[in-house]
Structure 1
Protein backbone atom coordinates (compact mmCIF):
# COMPACT_ATOMS: atom_id res chain seq x y z
CA UNK A 1 0.00 0.00 0.00
CA UNK A 2 1.43 3.34 -1.02
CA UNK A 3 1.54 6.32 1.28
CA UNK A 4 -0.50 9.18 -0.11
CA UNK A 5 0.82 12.72 0.22
CA UNK A 6 -1.10 14.72 2.82
CA UNK A 7 -1.74 18.37 3.55
CA UNK A 8 -3.10 20.11 6.60
CA UNK A 9 -6.22 22.04 5.75
CA UNK A 10 -8.43 24.11 7.99
CA UNK A 11 -12.04 24.45 6.94
CA UNK A 12 -14.16 27.06 8.64
CA UNK A 13 -17.91 26.47 8.45
CA UNK A 14 -21.00 27.35 10.41
CA UNK A 15 -22.01 24.77 13.04
CA UNK A 16 -25.22 23.98 11.21
CA UNK A 17 -23.27 22.87 8.12
CA UNK A 18 -20.27 21.21 9.79
CA UNK A 19 -21.79 17.75 10.14
CA UNK A 20 -22.95 17.65 6.53
CA UNK A 21 -19.58 18.82 5.14
CA UNK A 22 -17.59 16.38 7.28
CA UNK A 23 -19.89 13.54 6.27
CA UNK A 24 -19.46 14.25 2.56
CA UNK A 25 -15.67 14.51 2.88
CA UNK A 26 -15.41 11.32 4.93
CA UNK A 27 -17.66 9.43 2.51
CA UNK A 28 -15.35 10.49 -0.30
CA UNK A 29 -12.38 9.19 1.72
CA UNK A 30 -10.37 12.39 1.38
CA UNK A 31 -10.28 13.65 4.95
CA UNK A 32 -9.01 12.66 8.39
CA UNK A 33 -10.47 14.56 11.32
CA UNK A 34 -8.05 15.47 14.13
CA UNK A 35 -8.98 17.12 17.37
CA UNK A 36 -7.53 20.54 18.13
CA UNK A 37 -4.83 19.28 20.53
CA UNK A 38 -3.61 16.56 18.20
CA UNK A 39 -3.52 18.89 15.21
CA UNK A 40 -1.83 21.61 17.30
CA UNK A 41 -4.33 24.13 16.00
CA UNK A 42 -5.20 25.22 19.51
CA UNK A 43 -1.72 26.67 20.06
CA UNK A 44 -1.92 28.85 16.99
CA UNK A 45 -5.61 29.74 17.29
CA UNK A 46 -6.89 29.15 20.87
CA UNK A 47 -10.37 30.35 19.91
CA UNK A 48 -10.73 27.23 17.72
CA UNK A 49 -10.17 24.78 20.56
CA UNK A 50 -12.68 21.94 20.40
CA UNK A 51 -15.14 21.00 23.12
CA UNK A 52 -14.17 18.08 25.33
CA UNK A 53 -17.42 16.17 24.83
CA UNK A 54 -18.20 14.66 21.50
CA UNK A 55 -21.72 15.02 20.12
CA UNK A 56 -22.13 11.22 20.32
CA UNK A 57 -21.42 11.31 24.06
CA UNK A 58 -24.00 14.05 24.52
CA UNK A 59 -26.55 12.16 22.41
CA UNK A 60 -25.97 9.03 24.50
CA UNK A 61 -26.43 11.01 27.71
CA UNK A 62 -29.65 12.58 26.41
CA UNK A 63 -30.95 9.13 25.44
CA UNK A 64 -30.12 7.80 28.92
CA UNK A 65 -31.87 10.78 30.52
CA UNK A 66 -34.96 10.35 28.34
CA UNK A 67 -35.17 6.67 29.25
CA UNK A 68 -34.74 7.43 32.97
CA UNK A 69 -37.40 10.17 32.85
CA UNK A 70 -39.85 7.82 31.13
CA UNK A 71 -39.12 5.17 33.77
CA UNK A 72 -39.47 7.57 36.74
CA UNK A 73 -42.52 9.53 35.51
CA UNK A 74 -45.11 6.99 36.79
CA UNK A 75 -43.52 7.17 40.25
CA UNK A 76 -43.76 10.97 40.54
CA UNK A 77 -45.40 11.92 43.83
CA UNK A 78 -46.52 15.36 42.72
CA UNK A 79 -48.53 15.31 39.53
CA UNK A 80 -48.93 18.81 38.20
CA UNK A 81 -51.50 19.50 35.54
CA UNK A 82 -49.09 21.06 33.09
CA UNK A 83 -50.35 21.54 29.62
CA UNK A 84 -48.46 22.35 26.46
CA UNK A 85 -49.64 25.95 26.72
CA UNK A 86 -48.45 26.50 30.27
CA UNK A 87 -44.85 27.80 30.52
CA UNK A 88 -42.17 25.62 32.08
CA UNK A 89 -40.76 26.42 35.50
CA UNK A 90 -37.80 28.76 35.26
CA UNK A 91 -34.68 28.21 37.35
CA UNK A 92 -31.95 30.70 38.07
CA UNK A 93 -28.54 30.52 36.40
CA UNK A 94 -26.74 29.44 39.59
CA UNK A 95 -28.99 26.43 40.09
CA UNK A 96 -28.67 25.45 36.43
CA UNK A 97 -24.86 25.67 36.59
CA UNK A 98 -24.74 23.58 39.77
CA UNK A 99 -26.86 20.88 38.15
CA UNK A 100 -24.98 20.82 34.85
CA UNK A 101 -21.47 20.96 36.27
CA UNK A 102 -22.12 18.84 39.35
CA UNK A 103 -22.02 15.07 39.47
CA UNK A 104 -25.22 14.66 41.49
CA UNK A 105 -27.37 14.46 38.35
CA UNK A 106 -25.23 11.65 36.93
CA UNK A 107 -25.31 9.84 40.26
CA UNK A 108 -29.11 10.04 40.29
CA UNK A 109 -29.21 8.88 36.67
CA UNK A 110 -27.07 5.88 37.59
CA UNK A 111 -29.36 5.07 40.54
CA UNK A 112 -32.44 5.29 38.32
CA UNK A 113 -30.84 2.98 35.74
CA UNK A 114 -29.87 0.47 38.43
CA UNK A 115 -33.40 0.57 39.85
CA UNK A 116 -34.89 -0.01 36.41
CA UNK A 117 -32.50 -2.90 35.79
CA UNK A 118 -33.40 -4.45 39.15
CA UNK A 119 -37.13 -4.11 38.44
CA UNK A 120 -36.65 -5.66 34.99
CA UNK A 121 -34.67 -8.53 36.54
CA UNK A 122 -37.33 -9.17 39.18
CA UNK A 123 -40.08 -8.99 36.57
CA UNK A 124 -38.22 -11.58 34.52
CA UNK A 125 -37.91 -13.84 37.56
CA UNK A 126 -41.60 -13.36 38.33
CA UNK A 127 -42.56 -14.29 34.77
CA UNK A 128 -40.33 -17.36 34.99
CA UNK A 129 -41.96 -18.45 38.26
CA UNK A 130 -45.45 -17.91 36.82
CA UNK A 131 -44.60 -20.10 33.85
CA UNK A 132 -43.23 -22.78 36.21
CA UNK A 133 -46.47 -22.66 38.21
CA UNK A 134 -48.48 -23.00 34.98
CA UNK A 135 -46.34 -25.96 33.96
CA UNK A 136 -46.80 -27.72 37.31
CA UNK A 137 -50.46 -26.84 37.94
CA UNK A 138 -51.88 -29.98 36.21
CA UNK A 139 -50.06 -32.03 38.86
CA UNK A 140 -51.57 -30.03 41.72
CA UNK A 141 -54.30 -32.59 42.50
CA UNK A 142 -51.94 -35.57 42.47
CA UNK A 143 -52.08 -37.33 45.86
CA UNK A 144 -49.25 -39.82 45.26
CA UNK A 145 -46.14 -39.19 47.37
CA UNK A 146 -43.13 -38.00 45.42
CA UNK A 147 -41.00 -40.98 46.51
CA UNK A 148 -43.20 -43.39 44.55
Structure 2
Protein backbone atom coordinates (compact mmCIF):
# COMPACT_ATOMS: atom_id res chain seq x y z
CA UNK A 1 0.00 0.00 0.00
CA UNK A 2 1.87 3.05 -1.25
CA UNK A 3 -0.33 5.57 0.61
CA UNK A 4 0.50 3.94 3.94
CA UNK A 5 4.20 3.97 3.11
CA UNK A 6 4.05 7.68 2.29
CA UNK A 7 2.23 8.41 5.53
CA UNK A 8 4.76 6.36 7.49
CA UNK A 9 7.63 8.25 5.88
CA UNK A 10 5.97 11.58 6.66
CA UNK A 11 5.40 10.59 10.30
CA UNK A 12 8.99 9.34 10.58
CA UNK A 13 10.28 12.61 9.12
CA UNK A 14 8.17 14.60 11.59
CA UNK A 15 9.48 12.50 14.49
CA UNK A 16 13.05 13.10 13.32
CA UNK A 17 12.39 16.84 13.09
CA UNK A 18 10.87 16.91 16.58
CA UNK A 19 13.82 14.92 17.95
CA UNK A 20 16.23 17.42 16.36
CA UNK A 21 14.32 20.34 17.88
CA UNK A 22 14.40 18.70 21.31
CA UNK A 23 18.14 18.10 20.98
CA UNK A 24 18.69 21.74 19.95
CA UNK A 25 16.59 22.95 22.89
CA UNK A 26 18.74 20.89 25.25
CA UNK A 27 21.91 22.34 23.72
CA UNK A 28 20.55 25.87 24.13
CA UNK A 29 19.57 25.17 27.75
CA UNK A 30 23.08 23.89 28.50
CA UNK A 31 24.61 26.91 26.78
CA UNK A 32 22.32 29.22 28.74
CA UNK A 33 23.44 27.61 31.99
CA UNK A 34 27.07 28.04 30.95
CA UNK A 35 26.50 31.71 30.09
CA UNK A 36 24.76 32.30 33.40
CA UNK A 37 27.60 30.69 35.37
CA UNK A 38 30.15 32.67 33.34
CA UNK A 39 28.28 35.92 33.99
CA UNK A 40 28.36 35.25 37.73
CA UNK A 41 32.16 34.97 37.62
CA UNK A 42 32.81 37.90 35.27
CA UNK A 43 34.60 40.97 36.56
CA UNK A 44 36.23 43.95 34.89
CA UNK A 45 38.92 46.19 36.33
CA UNK A 46 39.19 49.80 35.15
CA UNK A 47 41.71 52.44 36.19
CA UNK A 48 40.90 56.14 35.92
CA UNK A 49 42.85 58.08 33.28
CA UNK A 50 44.86 59.87 35.99
CA UNK A 51 45.72 56.55 37.67
CA UNK A 52 44.30 57.59 41.06
CA UNK A 53 41.40 55.11 41.19
CA UNK A 54 41.12 51.44 40.19
CA UNK A 55 37.74 49.68 40.43
CA UNK A 56 36.83 46.02 39.95
CA UNK A 57 33.12 45.55 39.17
CA UNK A 58 30.66 42.85 38.17
CA UNK A 59 28.15 43.08 35.29
CA UNK A 60 25.17 43.35 37.65
CA UNK A 61 26.73 46.47 39.18
CA UNK A 62 28.43 44.98 42.22
CA UNK A 63 31.77 46.46 43.20
CA UNK A 64 34.42 43.97 44.34
CA UNK A 65 37.20 46.44 45.03
CA UNK A 66 38.15 50.12 44.92
CA UNK A 67 41.87 50.92 45.12
CA UNK A 68 43.16 54.46 45.56
CA UNK A 69 46.67 55.62 44.84
CA UNK A 70 48.20 58.34 46.93
CA UNK A 71 46.95 61.56 45.44
CA UNK A 72 47.52 65.22 46.09
CA UNK A 73 44.20 66.23 44.48
CA UNK A 74 41.11 67.63 46.16
CA UNK A 75 38.46 65.34 47.69
CA UNK A 76 35.68 66.53 45.34
CA UNK A 77 37.81 65.79 42.31
CA UNK A 78 38.68 62.38 43.71
CA UNK A 79 34.98 61.70 44.33
CA UNK A 80 34.15 62.44 40.68
CA UNK A 81 37.04 60.24 39.58
CA UNK A 82 35.80 57.37 41.78
CA UNK A 83 32.23 57.71 40.48
CA UNK A 84 33.32 57.80 36.84
CA UNK A 85 35.71 54.87 37.28
CA UNK A 86 33.04 52.76 39.03
CA UNK A 87 30.63 53.40 36.16
CA UNK A 88 33.31 52.45 33.62
CA UNK A 89 34.13 49.20 35.46
CA UNK A 90 30.46 48.25 35.73
CA UNK A 91 29.96 48.94 32.04
CA UNK A 92 33.07 46.94 31.10
CA UNK A 93 31.88 43.92 33.11
CA UNK A 94 28.42 44.09 31.50
CA UNK A 95 30.00 44.44 28.03
CA UNK A 96 32.09 41.33 28.69
CA UNK A 97 28.97 39.27 29.38
CA UNK A 98 27.23 40.83 26.37
CA UNK A 99 30.15 39.83 24.11
CA UNK A 100 29.93 36.26 25.40
CA UNK A 101 26.19 36.18 24.74
CA UNK A 102 26.68 37.57 21.23
CA UNK A 103 29.31 34.96 20.41
CA UNK A 104 26.96 32.19 21.55
CA UNK A 105 23.59 33.46 20.36
CA UNK A 106 24.72 35.64 17.45
CA UNK A 107 24.92 39.41 17.12
CA UNK A 108 21.46 39.50 15.54
CA UNK A 109 19.78 37.64 18.41
CA UNK A 110 16.76 39.51 19.83
CA UNK A 111 17.95 38.57 23.33
CA UNK A 112 21.38 40.09 22.69
CA UNK A 113 19.72 43.26 21.36
CA UNK A 114 17.47 43.49 24.43
CA UNK A 115 20.40 43.01 26.82
CA UNK A 116 22.46 45.57 24.88
CA UNK A 117 19.62 48.09 25.30
CA UNK A 118 19.48 47.32 29.03
CA UNK A 119 23.26 47.70 29.36
CA UNK A 120 23.17 51.04 27.54
CA UNK A 121 20.39 52.27 29.83
CA UNK A 122 21.88 50.94 33.08
CA UNK A 123 25.53 51.78 32.49
CA UNK A 124 25.90 55.01 30.54
CA UNK A 125 29.68 54.59 30.42
CA UNK A 126 31.64 57.73 29.70
CA UNK A 127 28.56 59.76 28.83
CA UNK A 128 27.88 60.76 32.45
CA UNK A 129 29.74 61.54 35.66
CA UNK A 130 26.89 60.25 37.79
CA UNK A 131 25.91 56.72 38.61
CA UNK A 132 22.44 56.13 37.26
CA UNK A 133 20.39 52.98 37.86
CA UNK A 134 22.41 50.08 39.24
Task: Please give the TM-score of this superposition, normalised by the length of structure 1.
Answer: 0.27
Higher fraction of strand: 2
Identify the structure with bigger relative contact order (alpha carbons < 8 Å, sequence gap 6+): 2
